[in-house]
Amino acid sequence: MREKNPRTDKVQTVAELETIFRQSTAAILTEYRGLTVAEITHLRSKLRESGGGYHVVKNTLFKKALGDKLTPDLESLLSGPTAIAFAGEDAVATAKAVLDFIRETKKPDIIVKGGFMSGKVFSPDQVIALSKIPPKPVVLSQAVGAIQGPLSGFAGTMNGVLGEFVRTLQALSDKMQSEGAQAA
- pLDDT computed for residue 171 by the predictor: 77
**Domain 8-133 listed as CATH 3.30.70.1730:** yes
Average pLDDT for the chain: 84
Please say if the pLDDT value at position 17 is more than 60. yes
C-beta separation of 77 from 29 below 8 A: yes
Task: Tell me the per-residue pLDDT of 26-70, one tens digit each, with 9 for 90 and over.
Answer: 999 999 888 889 999 999 999 998 889 999 999 999 998 988 888
Residues, the chain: 184
Nearest to 93, CA basis, from 138, 52, 121? 52
Could you give the percent of the chain with pLDDT greater than 70?
A: 90
pLDDT range class, residue 71, cuts 50, 70, 90: confident
Rg, the chain, Cα only: 30
> Backbone dihedral region of 67: left (phi > 0), alpha (psi from -120 to 50 degrees) or beta?
left
Each domain of the chain, given as residue ranges in start order, spans 8-133, 135-184
C-beta separation of 26 from 115 below 8 A: yes
pLDDT range class, residue 83, cuts 50, 70, 90: very high
Task: Tell me the per-residue pLDDT of 85-124, one tens digit each, with 9 for 90 and over.
Answer: 999 888 899 999 999 999 988 888 888 999 998 888 999 9
115 burial via Cβ count (<10 Å: 0-12, 13-18, 19+): buried
Nearest to 77, CA basis, from 126, 39, 35, 40? 126
